[in-house]
Chain A
Amino acid sequence: MTPTYYLLLSALLFTIGAVGVLVRRNAIVVFMCVELMLNAVNLSLVTFARINGELDGQIMAFFVMVVAAAEVVVGLAIIMSIFKTRRSASVDDANLLKY
């Protein structure tokens, strides 16, 4: 099994995540799609590390996970606070700022 398949899988996951961001309305789900994109990147990093025969890429994946965790904390805090005010988690309801 060549590493290229992992790269293609990673690209597929990234695309699914990106499309998810576009089509889902619930802020939590949108956010999870972003997390999917980050993890797709992690798969790429690990694969490239394997191709290059070194550990750098795998270490980077850990960095990405830490950053993603921090992002979750901040993201959920923001989404929670707007949910408390609006009683809705739909990103389409937050639509006061436009044009």
Chain B
Amino acid sequence: METFLAVQEPLAASGVAEYGWLLIALPLFGAAVLLLGGRRTNAWGHLLGCATVIAAFVYGLALFLSMTGMPADERVRELHLFDWIPVNALNVEFGLRIDPLSMVFVLLITGVGALIHIYSVGYMSHDQAGRTGADNTERRRFFAYLNLFVGAMLILVLGNSFVTLYLGWEGVGLASYLLIAFWQHRPAAATAAKKAFLMNRVGDVGLALAIFLMFAELGTTQYTEVFARAGEMPTGVLLAIALLLLLGACGKSGQFPLQAWLPDAMEGPTPVSALIHAATMVTAGVYLIARSNPIYNLTEDGRLVVTIIGALTLLIGAIIGCAYDDIKKVLAYSTVSQIGYMILAVGLGPAGYALGIFHLLTHGFFKAGLFLGAGSVMHGMNDEVNMRRFGGLAKHMPITFVTFGLGYLALIGFPFLSGYFSKDEIVAAAFAQEGWRGWVFGGAAALGAALTAFYMTRLMLMTFFGEKRWKGQKSADGREYHPHESPASMTVPMIVLAFGSVFGGVLLYSGDRLLGWLEPSLGAVAHAEGGALPHSVIPFLVVGLSAVGVLLAWLLVGRRPVPATAPAQVSFPVRAARADLYGNALNETLFARPGTWLTRALVYVDNRGVDGLVNGIAALLGGSSGRLRRAQTGFVRSYALSILGGAVLLTAALLMVRFT
């Protein structure tokens, strides 16, 4: 552990950073105005929603620039806001931790958030006209929830204690729930929201238990103190905390075995999928593990479990992604898989924390762009999501095609686009592990790259190339397809994100810009040499494997006509993938069924034992209450007697205590 830089003592915030609370206050203010203002704010609600997030972004940028001017060891700042719960031993203060790691997230959240707010102005106005008439109430509600999400997410990343993080964690969970169920009239959306809510609770319980454990062991939940004193905890407790935090991360980030809610969450409006379920909220798990790096540094077993979960998830996500025909679900499984990469990276310890964050950033750009592109396609295709109905759209939506294509290339790791740098680094770091781990994790990561190339190429081919399978067809609501390019408010954010997907990697990677920047928060990156494969071979390996994936996709999908309905007679692997690799069945077996048994057993015990006891106690209390009531006779003289009796008893007791 010598390579890892000790956790820095934070300095008090000064200068621009003193107003750090504005970051959180602005979006929350927007949400409050929009929710409480009611119909009066319908007309300009969406503009306010955009304005608060853009203002937060501008402030975040100013803060970032002011920090770049500081020496590296002064970049970790704490801003004490107020004592939140000062009750005896439990003293939670509400403060912000402004350091390189949280700043990276602030810029990602407010930057991508601002773009997606702007995109939503166009996207939701269309939605409104098509569905419920001229009233803009729905759009206002949408922007209120989006602002609420941004505020909560900023609390999550800026908080300086685990309790504050938990507050934001639940806040984003709430916003996510509200937004998935935004179209409540669709039963699928309501069900998906419920599923997301429940599976997130499983994770949240893990996080809450981890915080309780920390508090019980150390008596504090502030980052600085927990991290400085993490070494005092016994190894068993450390491992337990690490695993419980991982459980929390799995729930929020859609990692195995809690991944099934994320694809279902695509029932929400597409900007929500882009912002919350691709770029920001689902990466909170990665943030949590990276933030807790001093804890994970101390427990190698904990890190190993993290790595295994990451590797497993990245393969599962990629395999299932190959089988789906729903464009948003493919992208959703791609997200699951890419977050698997990040979790794998942060599980590698000091060698990987910063790499995970690096991939998180580049992924934030290209995946948000891909989702916005998918939204644009749906926008032009009567909200159709089935790729078997697409085809040949490149000509009809040129801007969407180009931006989507760039995002696609970035995702599959086309040389010198952003995904190339971040993914290669992770694969290399995985191969650099010692012994069997290098081969296993490196192999999984490299195989995942090939699979990614396969399913994304399939998606591109089915959507933008080939014959126009939508001709002469009608969508579910009985309209004909007239694909058209989307309005500027939608294409401009896509273009900006495409730029990010193309150049983001180079900009952040060259000269170790990002990795060096993150050093005060995450420690220096340990570039491990050796291991299973030499570092120089990796890029060729990954690019080669990706090329194989692209080629396979072309052979299987591009060369032949795509049937309009999915063929039923397929081999077992495809069937398994279509069934989410039995993820739901697994969840059922792991959580639902034991839960049901447990409930049944409890109900049995409850009916026989507890209920009897409770009923007995209730009857006892009720009976004694009914009898004691009679003592309240309504006669003032009997009340006086009770006072006199009480006084005599009390005085007698006092004298007895004294004189016996």
Contacts and interface: CB of A to CB of B under 8 A. Distances in A.
A46 to B, nearest CB: 23
B638 to A, nearest CB: 9
B635 A99 contact: no
B630 A22 contact: no
Given A18-B644, A22-B644, A92 B630 contact: no
Contact of A91 (B630, B632, B637, B644): B637
A22 B637 contact: yes
A94 B644 contact: no
A97 interface: yes
Interface string B618-660: 0000000000011011111100110010000000000000000
B133 to A, nearest CB: 58
Nearest to B633: A98
A99 B637 contact: no
Interface string A45-69: 0000000000000000000000000
B637 A92 contact: yes
A23 B641 CA distance: 10
A8 to B, nearest CB: 17
Interface in B53-91: none
B634 A97 contact: yes
A32 B428 CA distance: 98
Contacts of A18: 644
Interface in A83-99: 91-92, 94-99
A97 B633 CA distance: 8
Contact of A21 (B632, B633, B634, B640): B640
B637 A21 contact: yes
Contact of A99 (B629, B636, B641, B644): B629
B635 A91 contact: yes
Contacts of B644: 18, 21-22
A98 B636 CA distance: 10
Which of A94, A96, A98 has the most chain B CB atoms inside 10 A of its CB? A98
What interface size band does chain A fall in? Answer: 10 to 19
A22 B640 contact: yes
What interface size band does chain B fall in? Answer: 10 to 19
Nearest to B645: A22
B634 A91 contact: no
Given A18-B644, A22-B644, A96 B634 contact: yes
Contact of B634 (A22, A23, A98): A98
Contacts of B633: 95, 98
Contacts of A92: 635, 637
Contacts of B629: 99
B338 to A, nearest CB: 69
A50 to B, nearest CB: 24
Contact of B635 (A21, A23, A95): A95
A69 to B, nearest CB: 22
A96 B632 CA distance: 11
Interface in A1-52: 18, 21-23, 25, 30
Interface string A62-78: 00000000000000000
A91 B640 CA distance: 12
A22 B640 CA distance: 6
A99 B640 contact: no
Nearest to A98: B634
Nearest to A27: B636
Contacts of B637: 21-23, 25, 30, 91-92
Contacts of A97: 634
Contacts of B634: 95-99
A21 B635 CA distance: 12
Which of A22, A23, A91 has the most chain B CB atoms inside 10 A of its CB? A22
Contacts of A23: 637
A30 B635 CA distance: 13
B477 to A, nearest CB: 65
B636 A91 contact: yes
A20 B636 CA distance: 13
Given A18-B644, A25-B637, 13 more contacts: A21-B637, A21-B640, A21-B644, A22-B640, A22-B641, A30-B636, A92-B635, A92-B637, A95-B634, A98-B633, A98-B634, A99-B632, A99-B634
